[in-house]
Chain A
Amino acid sequence: MTTTTFGLKYVTNVGFAADFGGRGFSLPSSMAIRADGVIFVVSRGKSSTKNSNGIQMVTKDHDFLGQIGTYGAGLGGMMWPTSVVLDSDENLYLADEYFNKVTKYDREGNPITEWGTKGSGDGQFNQPSGLLIQDRLMYVVDSRNNRIQMYSLDGNFVGQWGSGGDGEGEFNLPWGISDDSEGNIYVADWRNDRIQKFDSNGNYISAIGGGKTSVLDRPSDVAVDPDGNIYVTDWGSQCLLVLDQPGNILETKRGEADLSPWSVEYLSSQDDERKARESFVPVYKADTEDPSEVSARMEPYFWDPVAVELDQDGTVYVLETGRHRFQIFERI
């Protein structure tokens, strides 16, 4: 199932720091791609500029289509959104770890329903993060309860698995979740530095990473292509890693963003910044080995990569919280 040669090339990026709303993102936390190419990006925003919360709709061709939802406690509102996912009817679901709820929006972006309260019982959450829908069933990564919960798409509790720990099927603050073409489920077991693979009933199959010599460092999200290649946003090392099923690294990307059209347009109206940027050296030798601090200095690099998605053509999208954009890669 795995390929023997693998490579990715950078194509472009979509994004712009939209601290106060409008075209762009603000501390985005998750993304989902609809079949027609509309990309939904969730902006978590920051507490002091509440209108930067929302689900922005864009395309990979840099079209900005508007926004769904906004800051607030009511139906459709959000405060600390963590994940967005689409079902086969193209309804949209959003997890929020402040309100400990999942909100369902219809295809037009109207909020329909929501469920969840804070707690550890059935149907309760303690900071939900990743969402996955498979065969009309929703899987919710209930991060601080160290478990995966399953729901119907109307919010009825179906089941759960997992508990705290570092053994097989146990979790330490899991984050992202995805599946492969065979229906197996992959969970980014964040603080155990591993990806765990389960069948769709939650039975443990295998793991990549884990332990003190783990190949992974705080993985935040995972995606799997039809060949079984595993894409991981390795949040701790600030890289995108691609691994085969046994866990061999096929590709490592640190990020290589250039100026997006939105950014070029912005700079065209800022003479002083554009001129100063002519001598700007975007990547240089850092005097620290802290990946997060290096990312904070080097504009092209991933800074807090939190989501990786694949579209139906196999194009790879890596969303970065710190740089308010996603970078797009294609197979070579």
Chain B
Amino acid sequence: MAHLLRRAGFGATPYEMDRALSMGYQAVLDDLLNPDHPDVIPDDLIRRYHVDQSDLRSGGGAHWVYRLVMTDTPLREKICLFWHRVFATGTTKLIQNRVVTNQIDMFREHGMGRFDDLLVELSRDPAMIMWLDNQDNHGSNINENYGREILELFSMGVGNYSEDDIKETARAFTGWRVVNPDYMSIRMRNNTARPYGYMSWQFEYDDDDHDDGEKIILGQKGKWNGEDAVRIICEQDATARFVSRHLYHFFVADELPVPQWPHEDPKDPEAIDVLCRSYFENDHDIGAMLRTLFESDFFKDGGSRYARIKSPSEMVIGTMRLAGPIDLPSEETYMADAACANMGQALMRPPSVEGWQGGTEWINTGAYVERVNFAGRILNDPDKQGVRDIIDRIKALSGQSTITSDELVDNCLEVLGPLEVLDTTRHGLKNYASKFGDMKWSDESLSSEFDRAAVAIIQLVVSSQEYQTI
């Protein structure tokens, strides 16, 4: 169960784990895939009390961090992170955060639906159009950028299409642009909010600018428009394999970086076959593929546990959720967004159109120090609701009003996950905890002393290498 909640969410607080265990694996999975309640993010409060997040000129990452921390539909948010990594779109070029936030909203709505629908929405997405210059893709003069990337990065991968397919696909998407394309392009290029602030963009199809001629895309001939191109792409085996490998990479185990996929077999070819079959048997439905994945032996097997390095966002959000709910966006959410960036994953600012590769890319000396410092800072206060709950459960697990230093470590690992650690790690933690000796909380002074000891161990646990994996 803990494995599922780590991968399909951001880990579980002790309360969430209790609830999940009482529901059972299948019911929890059903709830993750098909939450029967809307997310309860108070957008009006955010917009009023965090004004710069209303126009979202900047602060898009912090805005999303708040939602990620507070959501009670974690898989829906996780799938947004997934697609953000695959369809990497950045404010670095687009200048404003609002349109990327709107794109994330679109992932929230379509991210677990049919891949065909998602790709059509992506192709209509104003941020994507401007990101890959499709406003410059005219019937009389094509711009191949989006045609290339939808095949290479978003659906099939290198080696499964020709240069002609790129051109023909680009032709299918001519006329797909934003309203006021010239003015919006120049404002973006000039990086200006003048005279009256940024303007959000809207998709517009210009039939007069569309190349209505016959095209051959992946061997199919017709007067294809963008929706037809997406249909043809989604029928391909290569697309099923590409999506499957991405899902495996994100939810099961770290794979090789995407650019190596054309040359290297998947880590688990049978798992990819299972996911491909699910893709075709379920009409390209991503939610159905996720169900297949989370119900599979290759996911439930011990081999996939802790087989991925946490992305910065997973590490940051999971830790913040452990610390407890936050009332409204705060300086903490801005700091968390900055921390993700310092660890190598600036949300809404991917390094390139290829997004983040993940895996060992996430860890280097500087990033690790940032992780340790961040987790220690977030979990440093025994009066935070989540930390208090963890401490109370550590006490409760002891079954009495005293605890040994060894029990403190064991209980802490149990409550924070449970987190499976190497013997050497456990030994190191116990060695450190031994300086506290046996502890009691029978009066205020002893209780306060125990709180400090517990917080110290919690901070050490979240500094461990095991906590960096998922």
Contact = CB atoms under 8 A, between A and B. Distances in A.
A16 B69 CA distance: 35
B470 to A, nearest CB: 31
A29 interface: yes
A272 interface: yes
B187 A281 contact: no
B58 to A, nearest CB: 6
A27 interface: yes
B195 A260 contact: yes
Contacts of B52: 27, 44, 46-47
Contact of A276 (B49, B57, B59, B183): B183
Nearest to A323: B196
A304 B54 contact: yes
Interface in A5-34: 15-17, 19, 27, 29
Nearest to B334: A47
A137 interface: no
A48 B58 contact: yes
Interface string B154-191: 00000000000000000000000001101101110010
Given A27-B51, A29-B51, A280-B180, A296 B199 contact: yes
Contacts of A267: 195
Contacts of A173: 45, 48
Given A47-B334, A127-B49, A17 B183 contact: no
A276 B44 contact: no
Interface in A211-254: 218, 220, 235-236
Q: Determine the main DSSP class of A at the interface with B.
A: loop
A225 to B, nearest CB: 26
A297 B55 contact: no
A322 B183 contact: no
Contact of A296 (B51, B55, B195): B55
Interface string A269-309: 01011001101110010110000110011010001100000
B199 A299 contact: yes
Size class of the A contact interface (CB-based, 8 Å): 35 or more
Given A46-B57, A272-B190, A297 B200 contact: yes
Contacts of B44: 191, 218, 236
B102 interface: yes
B55 A322 contact: yes
Contacts of A279: 180, 182-183
Interface string A246-268: 00000000000101101100110
Interface in B195-216: 195-203
Given A273-B192, A279-B182, A322 B199 contact: no
Contact of B183 (A263, A273, A324): A273
A321 interface: yes
Nearest to A27: B51
A296 B179 contact: no
A329 interface: no
B47 interface: yes
B178 to A, nearest CB: 10
B193 interface: yes
A292 B54 contact: yes
B194 interface: yes
A272 B185 CA distance: 11
B202 A270 contact: no
Contacts of B183: 273, 276-277, 279-280
A189 B201 CA distance: 32
A135 to B, nearest CB: 30
B143 to A, nearest CB: 18
A190 B49 CA distance: 12
Contacts of A104: none
B78 interface: no
A193 to B, nearest CB: 11
A321 B51 contact: yes
B180 A281 contact: yes
B76 interface: no
B197 A324 contact: yes
A325 B195 CA distance: 10
A44 B193 contact: no
Contacts of A97: 49
B98 interface: yes
A304 B50 CA distance: 12
A247 B55 CA distance: 31
B186 A257 contact: no
A304 B47 contact: yes
Contacts of A323: 196-197
Contacts of A17: 193-197
B190 A19 contact: no
A272 B194 CA distance: 13
Contacts of B334: 47
A267 B180 CA distance: 17
A272 B200 contact: no
A15 B44 CA distance: 25
A173 B44 CA distance: 11
Contacts of B47: 292, 304
Contacts of B54: 292, 304, 321-322
Given A276-B183, A286-B202, A46 B195 contact: no
Find the residue from B183, B187, B334 having the highest chain A CB count within 10 A. Answer: B183
A236 B187 CA distance: 28
Contacts of B201: 297
Interface in B23-66: 44-45, 47-49, 51-52, 54-55, 57-59
A179 B190 CA distance: 45
A297 B58 contact: no
Contacts of A284: 179, 202
Find the residue from A191, A235, A266, A296 having the highest chain B CB count within 10 A. Answer: A296
A220 to B, nearest CB: 8
Find the residue from B48, B57, B98 having the highest chain A CB count within 10 A. Answer: B48
A80 B48 CA distance: 11
Given A46-B51, A321-B51, A322-B55, 11 more contacts: A16-B194, A27-B51, A46-B57, A173-B48, A175-B48, A260-B195, A262-B195, A279-B180, A299-B196, A321-B55, A325-B196
Interface of A: 15-17, 19, 27, 29, 44, 46-48, 80, 97, 127, 173, 175, 190-191, 218, 220, 235-236, 257, 259-260, 262-263, 266-267, 270, 272-273, 276-277, 279-281, 284, 286-287, 292-293, 296-297, 299, 303-304, 321-325
The 5 closest A-B pairs by CB, nearest first: A263-B195, A296-B200, A46-B52, A276-B183, A276-B182
